[in-house]
Structure 1
Amino acid sequence: MNDGRNGSVKQFICIKWGEKFGPDYVNRLHGMISRNVTPPFRLYCFTDDGTGLNPDIAVRPLPDFEYRTPQRTRGKWPKSRLWGDLGDVTGVVLFLDLDVVITGDLDGFFEYGDPDDTILGLNPNTPLEKMGQTSVYRMRVGKLAPLQDIFRADPQAAADKYKYEQRFVTRNAPGGVKFWPRGWLAHFRMHCIPNFPLNYFRDAKIPPRARIVIFPGLVNPPDAIAGRWYEDGDHVSPREHLRRAFNGQRRESFVKHMRHYVRPTPWVERLWRE
């Protein structure tokens, strides 16, 4: 069984549906993987549209989704398509969100723990709860299939109870879950951007042990490169940002506006490429 160890193929998977992320995100992901892993490796993209993808990326159709996606919750529940049968993709796989930035060696994500472990990131927003974070997780294909059965019975009830698919996985994964070593994953907003007021004067940094930087929330790699908090926003000087705060030209509370400032981040532009 392929587990990415002892010279076997390291298998990466991602999922792309709808129009939020274009093929450039997948192609950049493939490029970053290729520069940070010991071959052989393969990236499988499960998608409803493989147009524009690098020919080295293995395109696979989205697995059947036999239930209605919850409508009243924010979690990325379509990820549940990957919990069951993945066709010709078997063995151990490492899932990556499309908007991560790879900053270090990936081999350890296949070497850590037992091949049968389901391993997630530890969500920094809920440290006392020990909830998993599914931007980067490893599983043996099919091991999470029982979760699909639970979810299929009443998708909206499951979503209402757990709110996010990562909490659902954390609480229901057969055999439980484990977490990546501390520091391997860095949350861009929480771990890279300096705390207020230093965010106005210092660039975001890569934490020393970080191998992958994740971008949950409103700041994605293009926003970090441009130095903006919202995709439809624009970069402004620290002085202009402060002026907007005091003049009421803001979308959120005064405190959040002050904290939500990011300078243009050159290392994201340097690393986030094909």
Structure 2
Amino acid sequence: MNKQIMCINWGTRYGAPYINRLYEMVRRNITPPFRFVCFTDTRDGVRSEVECYDLPPMPGFMPKNTLGKWPKSRLWAPKLAELSGPILFIDLDVVILGSLDPFFEFGSPDDVVLARNAAKPFHKLGQTSIYRMPVGALAPLQDMFAADPQGIADTYRFEQHFVTKNAPGGVSFWPKKWVTHFRVECIPSFPMNFFVEPRKPKNGRVVIFAGGLNPPDAIEGQYGKDRPHLPPAAHIRRALKSKRKLRSIRQFLLPSSWVREAWTSASTDQPEERT
């Protein structure tokens, strides 16, 4: 199976630094040859090894006040540039710790393979932070979504739930240990999270950062930029001033040294000049 990696970038949240960092993490954890493609609204500062294409058209319209990353529906198009065959999609805010080769060897090339949703394990839902599909396999979903974007978004909330329930022929899931959900599976349970650093998964290949907590937050030991890391006592005092006191107290984590190592080491190489 050809090794094709795909990512998507829109807006100002990520941009070239995240695209370049993901490329470098992929390069270090894959057996060449491989192809790295990004559909993006900006090429500024993106290293030359990344094949950049304009964002495909948004099907229908962008739904309002929804939680899911519905712009990902652009990638369900029947055609994506001149790509064909299986392609592995990876979010820009993941940490890659092990070989990606098995993600191309698992199952059939015709399969749609998702990560498991660790936050709701009994619901048998998928996570599209890292998933594989043949180009065009989800085109029927794009047609469904385009016919009623707001209705689909209101019903499913997250685009990955829509994919899980409606992918033609169904979906399969990566082996459980391959993909780890940082917030759910790495942060120790309360109150141990006040004393023990987030766990680095043994034999894990990819760590995903679903929700508002991303790798820079894990490095700093915070649940978001609006809640910077504080020592335990100060954190508790701040939490007691919030509306959801108990939840805010529990949302504490120590800075993650292994995330820092993986994240910063992947940003050491400078992008090459474009010609």
Give TM-score scaled by structure 1 length: 0.93
Decide whether the 8 Å contact of 2:59 with 2:142 is kept in 1: no
Matched, 1:77 2:83: no
Q: CA RMSD for the aligned pairs? A: 1.2
Could you tell me whether the CA contact under 8 Å between 1:194 and 1:202 is conserved in 2? yes
CA distance in 2, matches of 1:163, 1:229: 22
Please list, as runs of the form range in 1=range in 2, the aligned pairs for 1:115-264 lying within 5 A after superposition: 115-246=109-240, 248=241, 250=242, 252-264=243-255
User: What is the rounded CA distance, in whole Å, between the counterparts of 1:129 and 1:245 in structure 2?
Assistant: 31
**Helix, strand or coil at the partner of 1:28:** helix
Q: Distance in 1 between matches of 2:130 and 2:43?
A: 22
2:34 matches 1:34: no
Q: CA deviation at 1:127?
A: 1.6
Compare 56-65 and 252-261 and name the one that shifted more. 252-261
Note the C-alpha offset of 1:207.
1.5
Aligned twin of 2:4 = 11
Secondary structure of the residue aligned to 1:128 is helix
Match of 1:7 in 2: none
Stretches of structure 1 that go unaligned for 5 or more consecutive residues are 5-9
Figure out how many residues of one structure are paired with residues of the other and give that number.
Answer: 264
- The answer to whether the Cα contact below 8 Å between 1:189 and 1:215 also exists between their aligned partners in 2 is yes
Q: Deviations over 1:203-253 (max 9, x none)?
A: 11112131100001121111111111112332211121123234x2x3x51
Matched AA of 2:254: R
The answer to whether the Cα contact below 8 Å between 2:87 and 2:135 also exists between their aligned partners in 1 is yes
Question: Paired residue for 2:271?
Answer: none
Q: CA deviation at 1:129?
A: 1.5
Equivalent residue number for residue 88 of structure 2:
94
Cα deviation digits, residues 67-111 of structure 1 (max 9, x gap): 111113111111010011101111110000110000111101000
- Cα pair 2:9 2:39 within 8 Å, conserved: yes
User: What SS does structure 2 have at the residue aligned with 1:133?
Assistant: strand
Three-state SS of the structure 1 residue aligned to 2:122 is coil
Structure 2 residue 47 is the aligned partner of structure 1 residue 54: yes
Amino acid at match of 2:248: H
Q: What secondary structure does 1:224 align onto?
A: helix
**Worse-superposed segment, 168-177 or 59-68:** 59-68
Q: Distance in 2 between matches of 1:254 and 1:22?
A: 35
Deviation string 1:141-199 (CA, Å, 9 cap, x unpaired) is: 01111111111111111111111111110111111000010111111111111111111
1:269 and 2:260 aligned: yes
Structure-1 separation of matches of 2:237 and 2:225: 21
Partner-residue secondary structure (3-state), 2:254: coil
Contact 2:15 2:42 in 1 (8 A): no
Q: Which residue is equivalent to 1:20?
A: 13
> 5+ unaligned residues in a row in structure 2: which ranges?
268-275
Aligned counterparts of 1:54 and 1:232: Cα–Cα separation in 2: 31
> Do the aligned partners of 1:203 and 1:264 also contact (CA within 8 Å) in 2?
yes
What TM-score results when the alignment is normalised by the length of structure 2? 0.93
Give the residue type in structure 2 aligned to 1:197. P
1:43 corresponds to 2:55: no
Is the 8 Å Cα contact of residues 59 and 73 (structure 2) preserved in structure 1? no
Residue 94 of structure 1 aligns to a residue in which SS? Answer: strand
Would you identify which runs of 4 or more consecutive aligned residues in structure 1 move more than 3 Å? none
